Amino acid sequence: MRNFILAILFAFLCSAGLAVSAQDAAPLQAAANQAQAAAADAAKAVETAKSAFPKKLSDLEAKIPGLKRNSQMSEPDECFDWYEDPATGHVYLVYVWGNAETMAKFEADAAAVAAEKLLAGDEAGAKLVTDNAKSVVEATRAAKGYGLVYSVSFAKGKDLHDGREILIVKPVNRSKGKVILARSMAVENMKDGLLVASSLETGDVVGEFLPALLYNESVREGSQAKSLPGFGTAINNLWHSTGIYDIYRQTTADFSKTWILGLGRLLMMFVALILLYLAIVKGFEPLLLLPIGFGALLANIPLAGISGPDGLQGMIYMVGIESGVFPCLIFMGVGAMTDFGPMLANPRTALLGAAAQFGIFGALLGALALNVVPGITFNIKDAASIGIIGGADGPTSIFVTSRLSPSLLGAIAVAAYSYMALVPIIQPPIMKLCTTEAERKIRMKQLRAVPKIEKICFPVLITLLCAFLLPDAAPLIGMLMLGNLMRECGVVDRLSDTAQNALINIVTIFLGIAVGSKLSAEQFLSLQTLGILVMGCCAFCIATAAGVMFAKIMNLLSKEKINPLIGAAGVSAVPMAARVANKLGLEYDSQNFLLMHAMGPNVSGVIGSAVAAGVLLSLCGGL
Amino acid sequence: MNLGSLIFDGLKAMVLGMLWVFCFLSIMIVCMKVMSKALAPFSNFLEPVAPAPKKKKASGAKAALSPEDRVRALAAIEAVKLYRAGK
């Protein structure tokens, strides 16, 4: 009975509920229909807006009648231009390389150069310039200004601040270059399919931006709630986010031009593994080659963008290397570890450190001569950066290259550190070739003991000398001398200890990681890298030979003989080059200890290479 | 820019660069020599003072050496003298 009553009550409640539902159903249905219609309208609007995003400048001009080129926002560069919609204030970034205006400007520039040559009486040169310009213009027009995209660092809906890199593009017949915003912008829309390894043609609209003076990060409640896409789409998205897919996509986008971005990454990962092998198994400069090798591995991970402007390596590079901070801090540590006593005891050996810098300038000339090889183009700044490898000083090489030719940094840093590790292999044959057995047996007078006060005054003296003679080298020499003063003064042992150990170790880790970020496939896999490696080796050889030969010249002019082997220590590479000289000396006379004598040219080589770096920065920095 | 003018620029950089490096280091050498002479009267200034050695009884020290050790010590002293004399 009780169950019966309960069943009736349940049936009643259900029917009542159904009745209420039926009563409410009509307005709810209407509301649902309205919402559905609104959603469909919104989707249609979005679709329309998407399809309405103009692909070409001509579409943009048809869509926006009052469109005008914004000359104030345009950089004096011929590859990209800004076009502004005066009604909305939106601006459009358009790829313009290859259009009539840019080609006319190119021809006009070439005509000006040809005219200069004609005035100088160089008719053949003028004709060469004119012919070359004509062929470039024809080729560029035929390729429709083809620009290969190497990096995309912006996305729809992002707020970008001024100074931010958004693209790296290699236009046909031009060098690869970054596209950097000179104003803060919000990204409203961007070209469909704008990905790494995609291409641009003359007149392509790259993106729509809204210049911004202020950003407010506040959001409406609930406005960020979005649901996941459908199962199929989600799986597709996941597949597209894998490294395998991205390597395949980039390789096959336009194989002859984009394989470097796809397969090239795998090759560079292999190069990174070789660097790790050399560091761990062979013990070649492990302190640097290990972080550089691992940094190279990280930089070549597809899609992660670790070496991009938002990635860890990119940020470390910007903070530490682009600013020149890391090489200077390393120099401080080197100064804190260096004893300038041997040089102070026998000052004339410092000249050997000067002679060895001939390797830098010899390699500079060699790098310029490499321009005869098709596919290799080095300007004077590139050549200066390559030449500095001959200084056998990693931080100096990085400092100069980051200022003169940042795109060559990876190859130059790897060459500099690799060859420094190979000093015991590279130098002895050259030293033997340049000296006789009798010269190798020359014994040198024992060095005097240098008083502490001299060692303390020395760093101050050199800093003042640098300030008066070569301020461009002041960041490097100044920090070297600060570290040395901390070591010698004896009142800041804690600071000296930190500079020698903790600080230099920390900076070395970051320096290696940041340099590794420049070992990306598109920057490293080129004929130029081969040229850099060859010229780097030549620079070391020339520097060694120059040091030894100069010691022989000094012996001709002086009564007090110098063992020419110590001239080879004039290439910095402290203290490895001095050890090599000592070892070779001992091979011919087991009682002839040259280590302390070789330390003189060795430490003067550090100063000499910093001075050479300052000269190169001073000569080429303003070009 | 053609190769000839590039090489010419490189030569200019080489001459200027080497000249400047040699000038800088030569001036540095001169300054170091002047500094060394100027500071010679103060060479003991700031030098760490070595603790005075405790006097040992000569007879005790001699007694500690066996005749064989004494011969070895004399031989070592003689060898050092010959080495310094360059023989």
Summarize pLDDT for A81-129 with one digit per residue, the tens. Answer: 888 888 888 999 999 898 888 888 888 888 888 898 888 888 888 888 8
Mutate one of B2, B32, B49 to test the A interface: name it (highest A CB count within 10 A).
Answer: B32
Where does chain A hold its CATH 2.40.50.100 domain(s)? Answer: 57-214
B51 within some domain: no
B11 within some domain: yes
Give the structural domain span for B76: 3-43+61-84
B23 within some domain: yes
Closest CA in chain B for residue A488: B46
**Closest CB from A364, A383, A604 relative to B25:** A604
pLDDT at A18: 44
CA A573 to chain centre: 24
Question: From CA A42, how far away is CA A37, in angstroms rounded?
Answer: 8
B25 within some domain: yes
**Closest CB from A351, A361, A591 relative to B13:** A361
pLDDT at A354: 94
Cα angle A506, A511, A515; round to 5: 155
pLDDT at A332: 95
Tell how strand A159-160 and strand A147-152 pair up: unpaired
CATH 1.10.760.10 at A57-214, yes or no: no
Question: B59 pLDDT exceeds 80?
Answer: no
Q: What is the mean pLDDT of residues B56-75?
A: 70
Q: What is the mean pLDDT of residues B57-70?
A: 65
Closest CA in chain A for residue B47: A452
B49 within some domain: no
pLDDT at A8: 53
More confident: A523 or B73: B73
Answer whether B39 sits within 8 Å of A604, measured CB to CB.
no
Label residue B54 by pLDDT band (50, 70, 90): low
Tell how strand A185-190 and strand A165-171 pair up: unpaired
pLDDT beneath 70: ranges in chain A:
1-32, 35, 37-51, 71-77, 222-225
pLDDT at A15: 47
Distance of CA A53 to CAs A71, A125, A193, A562, B47, Å?
22, 47, 13, 76, 78
Are the C-beta atoms of A471 and A586 separated by less than 8 Å? Answer: no
Label residue B2 by pLDDT band (50, 70, 90): confident
Please tell me the total count of domains within chain B: 1
B53 within some domain: no
pLDDT at A484: 95
Nearest one of A605, A531, A593 to A565, comparing CA atoms: A593
B29 within some domain: yes
Chain A with chain B: Cβ pairs closer than 8 A? 127
B48 within some domain: no
pLDDT at A39: 63
The minimum CA-CA distance between B64 and chain A, rounded to whole Å, is: 32
